[in-house]
Structure 1
Amino acid sequence: MKLIHYLSISVFCVGISSTEKVLPANYAEFEDRGQPNPVVQAKMSRDCPQTSYEFSDREQTTNYIRVKTPIPDLEELTVCGWYTRYTTSGDVWLSYATRHQQNDFILLINPASHIGIWLLGSYVDGHPTFATNIEYHICVTTFTRTGYSYIFVNGQIEDVLPGSRVGVLSGGGVMILGLDQDVMGGGFQAAESAQGKLSNFMLWRRALTFEEITQMSLDRCHCPSDYYITLQHSEVELEGGATALVPHSCAP
């Protein structure tokens, strides 16, 4: 059960704070390996898809969102969303599993209230902490070829996490919001569920720039127009008690 694993790892992160790290102003410090800078910037759209969902029940295995959009091979990605957690027990926000690896990519808030990331079967614990009943804008950018993940909270870079495994995030798997997968598309455990509200979740097949992430945190109606995954009703399957809420309105 992964929550036990989360607890064991978080012990080694006690005393580490983002103020003790030199946080970068861009990706070049870690991602520049003599190759052209992979970071590009798209037009910011005023028509950012507005979505909002709630996972109201705790300790269950039936309430989740399954993304219908096919997942391609990925070497870099950014996921963003507004998240409010209702419990301190730990939340699995996103899980992506393939037939060969159940922990290909997982975003969670562990029982110590820190953000955690599984990438290619390897776990790393981040510093930012999240209180209950407060909405946060969270973005995570990951470069699978170097293993680095960048955590942004409310538009600001808060941590850079090195991964111990590198490679390509294989496509063809299943992406689920609200529960962890112990096998692709299933194997759910009640202790690894989410209880909270998730709004404007999106995924891009590239690293968003720091500026793009900051702009989204300031205005939820604006987002880079080249998003690949959103949680619009036609693009997801709601299971169990996962509930669609009335989203934010961007009407003038």
Structure 2
Amino acid sequence: MQATKSGICWRLFLFSCVFLESLSQDFGGQTQFICTSVPKDMDICAATLQNSVPGEDLKNTVMQLQETVFQQKENIINQKETIRELTSKLARCESQNSAEPGDARPGGRRKETGTKNTMGDVSRGPADTLTQLSQTLQSLKQRLENLEQFSRSNNSVQANSLKDLLQSKIDDLEKQVLSRVNSIEEGKPGLRNETEQRGRVESTLTSLHQRITDLEKGQRENRPLDKFQLTFPLRTNYMYAKVKKSLPEMFALTVCMWLKSNASPGVGTPFSYAVPGQANELVLIEWGNNPMEILINDKVAKLPFLINDGEWHHICVTWTTRDGVWEAFQDGVKRGYGENLAPYHPIKPQGLLILGQEQDTLGDGFDATQAFVGHLANFHIWDRKLSVEEIYNLATCSSKAQVGNVFAWMETSLDIYGGTSKWTFEACRQLN
């Protein structure tokens, strides 16, 4: 009987020690053991009970501690479940408020996803849309302030002529802003921030209209139709110019223009020509950290141009379908050449020529990250390869310089959209 009692006591004692050690570890503590000397012939259980609480009380204490630990573990499990549930809800909310990224396209060009409106814009979140429109209005405001200063110093002659062109574009922009804000408010009633932004936008538009009215009080200038530049102040997917007529079939070509930009990274897409079934029939693009490229039938040649320094530069690219030979000129100097660029592939007719945007589909699929930012002027296209002397004459404003026989730079040859503006420009004046 004594042996049995001693065995039970030993098991209870060991169980208490193991259990207390486990409890200490669960709560991040450190276990400490207190050793007490016991005479050789003395009953261990008796000694243990003598130096602690009575046996029954010790057993009850252990059971209470065990129950407490179980309750704590259950609480922790419940709390973890709650945390997981809240984390899941937060992730869903964030995913609903985030725009879906575009799909990667071959050659490093990205195709936007979403629904496009008639301006080529992609549907986006309310805050993004209003922010971008506000930026556009701010840019218009800055250009008008510059015009006022120009008007005071030039008797309002050139300024008033240019403001007629901006008037219609601002009217279109106003309709676009109000339409989008109304659709946002109808879809999400009670959005106070969007309502406040609408008020600010309407106020800005009213101020712009008043300034235009004041500037229109004066004599208009009858400037030549080729003495102008296009300005693309923002990297958007709705600012562009469209050439009114298509290109003919061409077995050789020369494309020349004046460019000014300090955009980074990459100046964007000065022009793109798309035909049915081929969006990259003829494209000039500098996107991201890539060098400027010329694409013909989606085949690529890298061009040695360095133009994003905020200065005007004259660039020309020549190409012939025989062996796909190409040459690149900057400021009248030949900078590079190559071959095997879409050899024996003629440039197809019945396409659409866009200035300022890269087309993913015929006349659509614009991507803001590939848009041209800067100034463009004297854009000409020939259906032959110009000589080195002819290109030099163009870059130096020689009296012998010719205009494109396929496309010549004229205001009446273009339609402009989305806030792109026209300003007086004379290339020869830039060189003096």
Aligning the two structures, in what range does the TM-score lie when normalised by the shorter sequence?
0.7 to 0.9
* Residue 71 in structure 1 maps to residue 174 in structure 2: no
Distance 1:52 1:151, change over 3 A: same
| Equivalent position to 1:233, from 411, 419, 422 | 411
CA contact (8 A) 2:356 2:372 kept: yes
* Residue 178 in structure 1 maps to residue 356 in structure 2: yes
| Equivalent position to 1:86, from 262, 273, 290 | 262
| Equivalent position to 2:381, from 196, 203, 212 | 203
Matches within 5 A, 1:4-153: 5=108, 49-58=226-235, 60-90=236-266, 91-112=268-289, 114-153=291-330
CA contact (8 A) 2:244 2:415 kept: yes
Could you say which residue in structure 1 is the equivalent of 2:369? 191
Distance 1:222 1:85, change over 3 A: farther
> Equivalents in 1 of 2:387, 2:405: separation in Å?
13
1:88 aligns to what SS in structure 2?
coil
> Equivalents in 1 of 2:400, 2:231: separation in Å?
22
CA contact (8 A) 2:262 2:309 kept: yes
Q: One-letter code of the match for 1:106?
A: V
Runs of 4+ in 1 over 6 A off after TM superposition: none
**Cα deviations across residues 127-176 of structure 1 (Å, max 9, x unaligned)?**
23223302110001111232122100000110113344221110000000
**Cα deviations across residues 53-78 of structure 1 (Å, max 9, x unaligned)?**
110111x1111110112211011111
* Cα distance, 1:96 vs structure 2: 0.5
> Equivalents in 2 of 1:226, 1:134: separation in Å?
24
> Equivalents in 1 of 2:427, 2:395: separation in Å?
16
2:363 aligns to what SS in structure 1?
coil
List gaps (5 residues or longer) in structure 1.
7-46
When you count strand as a share of all residues, which structure comes out higher? 1
> Equivalents in 2 of 1:141, 1:3: separation in Å?
25
When you count helix as a share of all residues, which structure comes out higher? 2
CA contact (8 A) 1:3 1:111 kept: no
* Residue 246 in structure 1 maps to residue 349 in structure 2: no
Q: One-letter code of the match for 2:292?
A: I
Count of paired positions? 210
1:104 aligns to what SS in structure 2?
strand
* Cα distance, 1:210 vs structure 2: 0.6
2:304 aligns to what SS in structure 1?
strand
> Equivalents in 2 of 1:112, 1:220: separation in Å?
35
> Equivalents in 2 of 1:210, 1:51: separation in Å?
26
Q: One-letter code of the match for 1:193?
A: A
> Equivalents in 1 of 2:308, 2:427: separation in Å?
26
Structure with higher RCO (Cα < 8 A, 6+ apart): 1
**Cα deviations across residues 25-55 of structure 1 (Å, max 9, x unaligned)?**
xxxxxxxxxxxxxxxxxxxxxx994331110
> Equivalents in 2 of 1:237, 1:99: separation in Å?
21
2:249 aligns to what SS in structure 1?
coil
* Cα distance, 1:89 vs structure 2: 2.2
CA contact (8 A) 1:95 1:180 kept: yes
Distance 1:120 1:4, change over 3 A: closer
CA contact (8 A) 1:145 1:168 kept: no
> Equivalents in 2 of 1:48, 1:158: separation in Å?
31
| Equivalent position to 2:402, from 202, 220, 224 | 224
* Cα distance, 1:117 vs structure 2: 0.8
CA contact (8 A) 1:78 1:203 kept: yes
List gaps (5 residues or longer) in structure 2.
1-103, 110-223
* Cα distance, 1:234 vs structure 2: 1.0
* Cα distance, 1:114 vs structure 2: 2.6
> Equivalents in 1 of 2:403, 2:358: separation in Å?
29
CA contact (8 A) 1:57 1:241 kept: no
TM-score normalised by structure 2 residue count: 0.45
CA contact (8 A) 1:61 1:179 kept: yes
TM-score normalised by structure 1 residue count: 0.76
CA contact (8 A) 2:227 2:424 kept: no
